[in-house]
Amino acid sequence: MNLKQLSENLGLSQTTVSRALNGYPEVSESTRLRVEIAAEKGNYRPNMRAMSLATGKAMAIAHVIPIAKHDVFNPVFAEFIAGASQTYYKYGYELMLTIAEAKDEESTYRAIAAKNAVDGVIVHSPLRQDDRLALLKEIGLPFVVHGRVCDTNEEYNWLDMNNRRAFKQATQLLIDLGHTDIALLNGPESMSFAWLRRCGYLEALGNNKISERTELSTVGELTEPNGYQAATAMLAAKNPPSAFLVSSYIVALGVRRAISEAGLTIGKDISVITHDDELSYFDNAGAVPQFTSTRSSVREAGVLAAEMLLEQIDNPTLYPQTKLLTSSLVMGSSTGPFRALS
């Protein structure tokens, strides 16, 4: 069923039917009603391709996810996208998902723009210093960054968790419990999220006049074996840490393994705080506090980021917008109870 058929059935012109359906005021109420009923029962939906060709609006948003051949598809992105899709659905937009090898990201963005396939883009996995900002501005495609770019003077839309604050709080909590030798197992610090977490960690140490022991920091892919190896090495060295601050629950699983092999008990001999815990599908309800991002908060972030982008597209003068989501400090159930130093 297309506009032409629908209008012929009704004995009206395509113009009138189109106007009726799109809420133009000059259509009489009676015709509008007739049209709406006929459209409904004919299960009419405008052909998106034709519509966007005529209007110049694609009614679609792209999410570009950089992902190397052997990387996993980060569940955080999946949740974020699930949230964003709610917003798109609400406003009649479509979601195009693009997985981009890091090396040809530039051409990916250029292609997206040139093909006129979308009205805007959500940028995932920002780096501390990221060329995509300049690129997207150059090609004039509206965008919102999920996260932040640290080293830039450019203005741009972003929405982020407060990673710095969360890790500062977590570190402070450990310090308040009497810890001074606190290990940080972080992700690659070329990525903003990891860098900001490190900043928070250092800030808390600094505030408490604790000097950083660089051998207690590792950086790497957020995998279980990395956590295991790093923790094993640290526990075997002299002056082992009494607490671990871990950037991902997956890594924390490796830490747990190392701790248990070392004959230690979490919550008795040693403390572990991890991030993203709820993403592991653990049930953190009630007793267990919330650390930085959780599954539901990530999804909510997706909702908000998408709203930000659509708003931007509708009303470019609002530019730039930013949103820093706060979330309270929390420990996950996978890490067990904290320990106060005796």
Q: Please give the residue ranges that form the binding site for its own copies (CB under 8 A).
A: 1, 43-50, 52-53, 58, 60, 67, 70, 72-73, 75, 77-79, 81-82, 85-86, 89, 94-99, 110-111, 114-117, 222-225, 250, 253, 279-283, 295-296, 333-334
Q: Which residue lies nearer to its own copies by CB, 200 or 227?
A: 227
- State phi, psi for 322 to the nearest 5 degrees: -140, 155
Determine if the peptide bond prior to 320 is cis (ω within 30°): yes
Q: Least CB distance from residue 227 to its own copies, whole Å?
A: 10
* Element containing residue 182 per DSSP (H, E): strand 182-186
Q: Choose the contact partner of 137 out of DNA, its own copies, none; CB within 5 to 8 A by kind.
A: none
Decide if residue 139 touches DNA (CB under 7 A): no
User: Nearest to residue 173, comparing CAs of 95, 268, 271?
Assistant: 271
**Segment contacting DNA (CB under 7 A): 23-31, 103-111, 177-185, 196-204?**
23-31
Instruction: Report strand pairing: 322-325 vs 271-274.
Output: unpaired
Give the whole-angstrom CA distance, residue 62 versus residue 143.
9
Positive/negative CA dihedral, 213, 214, 215, 221 = positive
**Segment contacting DNA (CB under 7 A): 28-36, 191-199, 227-235, 286-294?**
28-36
Q: Choose the contact partner of 263 out of its own copies, DNA, none; CB within 5 to 8 A by kind.
A: none
**Encoded tokens for 8:** 């012929």
Decide if residue 318 touches DNA (CB under 7 A): no
Size of the site for DNA (CB under 7 A): 28
DSSP per-residue string spanning 48-70: HHHHHHHHS---EEEEEEE--TT
Interface residues with DNA (CB under 7 A) are 2-4, 11-16, 18-19, 21-22, 25-28, 30-31, 46-47, 50-51, 53-56, 116
